[in-house]
Structure 1
C-alpha cells in the first residue's frame, strides 16, 4: 500500500508498503454497499472473458463450495506447504519475503491435483514472482470449481502484483459475491481500492473485515493506513495502537504509527516508534529519518 508522499522536509519521505500495513475503539464505518446488478454483470462478463465465469448467485443455488479436507495420508504435505506459505500476509524484513519456503512448498505440491493443493501452488508461484503462472493456475481451478471464492481471491492478488488493479478488484468483488464474509477477499479488496486511490472505500472494506475478525492485526493496520491517507491521523494512530494491543511485536504497526505521529506533529513519538520497529527488524523508517536529520542518537 502506498499512502501519498510527505513534503520533502518531512520525516515521512517515502511511500508506505503493504508489508508496513490494519485497531482502535472507534465508531463503526459505514457498511459496504450492496453489489449493484450492473456491477455484478460486469464481474461475470470479466470472468467470462478470462474463460472462467462463475454462475451468478441466485435463491435456488447452493452455497459456495468449501474445500474438502484431504485424506489423513495426504494431509501432512498440504499442511506443511500451507505452513511454509503462511507468511503471505505477515511482516517481512526489509529484504522482502524469503523465496526458499515458497520453492519448498511448490515441491511438496508437485503432482497434487485437488483444489486446495492447486490454490496453494498458485500462492507459491505468486510468492516466487511467477504471477502469470499463478493466474493460469487459478484460471484452471475456477474452470473446475467456478464458485470457489478462494480461487478468485488468489487470482486477484496475482493480477494486483501484475499492475492490473481493476481486474484484481473485480476478482475480489466476485469472491465477495460468492462469500460475503471472506476475510481474505475483504482485505484484498481494501488493498485494491487503496492502490486505485480510493481510500474511503478501502477503509470500508477493512472495517468490514474488523467487524468479522476483530482479532486480526492486519485489518486494523490497513485501516489505519487508509485513514492516514485521508489525513485522519489521530484515528489512524488509534488503529495502529489497537493492532499493537493485539500483537505487541508487530513492527509494521509501529512503523506506520510513527508515520502518522510525524504527520500529527509528534516527532518524539515518531522516533520512539521507528526505534521499536527497528528493534523488531523493520529499520527502513528509522534509517530514512536519520538521513533527514531526525531521531539521531544522542
Structure 2
C-alpha cells in the first residue's frame, strides 16, 4: 500500500482538528524536504491549533524565508500576530502584501483587523470596504465592516452590512452575534435578544453566542437569566475571563466564593494576555470588595488597571490639545435661534460614573421622554471637524444636523424629548447648543474621588476611556474636564443644569422634580423610582440601576485613600475647590 502524501495527510489532520498529529507529520516532512516552504507553514498552523502561537511565528517566518512570495504563509503569520496583540508587526507585513498586490482580498481583510486592534477604526473600515469591493460574495467582509461601522456610530450602515452578510449566509453565527448590539442601540431590544438566541440555537457550543446572549439579559434587566447564561459559558470554557468577570459582578458574596477559585486558576493560565488578566483581576477585586477586604481589592485593582494601561496607553498631550481646540471655537456664545424642534434633545453628561445613568432613568420614566442611552453620534460627527480645525458655520451645522437625523434611532410617536446620556458629550456642549438651540444640558456633579474609585473598579469597552486605567492620567483628564465645564458655564450662564449625585441619591424626588422643571415637563411620581424602569441599559451601570436609589458609594473613596493617592495629589485645587478630607 503506497504511503499517503505528507502534504495531503497534514491538511486532513488539520481539518479534523488533530493538531498534534498534524504537527508530527509536518515536522517529519520538513526533515525530508527542508527546502519545501509548505511544511513549516502547515507546522505553524498545527502549533496555533495547540495554543503555541509564538512558536508558530517562527515556522511561518521559515516558510517565508524559503519562499518570499508565499502568500498563505504571510497571511497566516499576520493573523497569528494579530491574535498575539502584535497588530503593529502584522500591519507592517500586510502593508507590504497590499503594496505588492492591491487585489489581495485576504490581506485587505486582515489589514482591517490589524488597524482595528490598533484603534485606527476609520482606516480599518476603509480596508474592510476594499475587501467588500474585491469579494462582494464573501460574508465575512460585510461582517467585519459592520462591526467597524458600529464602532464608528454608523448604526444604520452597520445593520445594512450585517443584513447583507445574513442574506449570503443566514446561519452565520458570528453575524447574528454582531447584529444584536446595534439592534439594541436602536432600541429594538426584542430583535436584539432574538438574534442572540438564534445564534445560541444554531451553535450551542459557541462561547461568543452565549456571551452575547448573557449581555442581552443584563441590558434588559433579567439578572437571573444573565447569570445562567454566563454559567453556561463557563461549562463550555471554564477559564473564560469575560464570563468570570461579569458573573462576579452579578453574583452575591456566597456564590462568588466558589467563583474565586475559577478566577485564580484562570489567572495562572492567562499568560501575557493583558485583557484577560485584567478581566480576571477585576473579578477578584469585586469578590474582595464583597468581603470588605480592602487590601486584597486594592492589589487586584492595581494589577487589572496596570494591564489595561499597557494595552490602552493614555495620550495626555493629545487630550490637552483637544481641550484648547474646543475652547478656541467659542470666543463668544453660540448665536441664539428661535427655531423649534419637534422633539427636544436632552444631553445628560459629566464624567463617566458620575450618575448619568440614574439621571437618564429618572427622565426616561416620564411618559413623554424617550431614553436613548449612550449615543456616540455627536462625537462621531463633531470630533473630526474639531481635530481638522474645520470652521463650524451654517454649512457645517446643517450637515451635522442632517447626518444626525440619519443616524438617530426612530423615536416613538408623541414623545416631547429624547435623552442622550453619553457622559463625555460635556466636551461638545457649545457645538450641540449651536446645532440644537433648544437642547437641554443636564450636568452631573460628583465628588471626583468617588468617581475615580468607581472608574478604578470599572472595566470599560473600547479605547475612549483609556485614562481610567492610570490614576495620574485620570487626574489629568479630571482637571481638563473641570476646566472645560467652567468654560461652558461662563459661556452659557444659567443654561446648564448642575445636578449633584450626592443630592440626587439623598432625595430622588427633589432631584427628579428639578429635572422635570428644567426640561419643561410636568413631574410624575415614577421619576422618583428609576429602579422600576423597563428600559434597557447598555453600559456598566446596567446592574446597579435595577436597585433602589441608595447612597452606599457616597464617600467610599475614604476607605481607598492610600490607593487613590496619585489621583488625589494630581487634582488641581483651583479647579476642584472645597474638597475636604
Corresponding residue number in structure 2 for 1:109: 60
CA shift in 2, pair 1:122/1:251, >3 Å:
closer
Deviation at residue 139 of structure 1 after TM alignment? 1.2
- Return the match for 2:150 from 181, 185, 194: 194
Flag the structure with larger Rg: 2
Cα deviation, 1:36-88, whole Å, max 9, x if unaligned, reads: xxxxxxxxxxxxxxxxxxxxxxxxxxxxxxxxxxxxx65444344345557xx
Distance in 2 (alpha carbons) for counterparts of 1:190 and 1:146: 22
What is the aligned partner in structure 2 of residue 223 from structure 1? 179
2:247 aligns to what?
Answer: 286
2:112 maps to 1:149: no
**8 A contact 1:233–1:261 mirrored in 2:** no
Q: Distance in 2 between matches of 1:293 and 1:274?
A: 17
For the aligned residues, what is the CA RMSD?
A: 2.7
Q: Which has the higher contact order (CA 8 A, sep 6+)?
A: 1
2:105, 2:154 → 1: CA distance? 23
Give the alignment of 1:34-183 within 5 angstroms: 74-82=37-45, 84-85=47-48, 101-111=52-62, 112=64, 113=68, 114-183=70-139
C-alpha distance in structure 1 between counterparts of 2:205 and 2:212, whole Å: 13
Q: Which residue of 2 aligns with 1:275?
A: 231
Measure, in 2, the Cα distance between the counterparts of 1:263 and 1:122: 35
Matches within 5 A, 1:6-25: none
Q: Shift of the alpha carbon at 1:271?
A: 2.6
Alpha-carbon spacing, 1:277–1:171, altered in 2? closer, same or farther (3 Å): same
- Residues 234-273 of structure 1 mapped to structure 2, 5 A cutoff: 234-273=190-229
Give the whole-Å Cα distance in 2 for the aligned partners of 1:268 and 1:151. 43
Unaligned runs of 5+ in 1: 1-72, 87-97
CA contact (8 A) 1:278 1:286 kept: no
Contact 1:78 1:109 in 2 (8 A): yes
User: In 2 relative to 1, CA 219–83 (structure 1 residues): closer, same or farther, beyond 3 Å?
Assistant: farther
1:194–1:266: structure 2 CA closer, same or farther, 3 Å change rule?
Answer: same
CA contact (8 A) 1:271 1:295 kept: no
Unaligned stretches of 5+ residues in structure 2 = 1-35, 259-581
Cα 1:296/1:219, change in 2 over 3 Å: farther
Aligned residues: 213
Shift of 1:252: 2.4
Q: Answer yes or no: is the 8 Å Cα contact 2:227–2:251 preserved in 1.
A: no
Q: CA deviation at 1:125?
A: 1.8
Q: 1:231 to 1:214 in 2, by over 3 A?
A: same
Q: How many Å separate the matches in 2 of 1:209 and 1:77?
A: 34
Give CA deviations for 1:232-256 in whole Å, capped at 9, x if unaligned: 2211111111111221122322232
Match for residue 209 of structure 1?
Answer: 165
Q: CA deviation at 1:123?
A: 1.4
Residue by residue over 1:222-278, the C-alpha shift from the partner in whole angstroms, topping out at 9 and shown as x without a partner, is 111221232222111111111112211223222321222233343332232122223
TM-score normalised by length of structure 1? 0.64
State how far apart, in whole Å, the 2-side matches of 1:274 and 1:76 are.
40
8 A Cα contact 2:162 2:178, kept in partner: yes
Counterpart contact for 1:220–1:239, Cα < 8 Å:
yes
- 1:271–1:129 Cα change, 3 Å: closer
TM-score (norm 2): 0.34
* 1:212, distance to aligned residue in structure 2 (A): 1.6
- Is the CA contact 2:223–2:250 (under 8 Å) kept in the aligned structure 1? no
Q: Distance in 2 between matches of 1:222 and 1:80?
A: 32
Q: Distance in 2 between matches of 1:146 and 1:170?
A: 13
Distance 1:231 1:81 in 2: 44
Structure number having the greater strand percentage:
2
Q: How many angstroms apart in 1 are the aligned matches of 2:110 and 2:198?
A: 28
3-state SS of 1:181 partner: coil
SS of the residue aligned with 1:110?
helix
**How far 1:158 moved relative to its partner?**
0.9
Out of 238-247 and 269-278, give the one that drifted further: 269-278
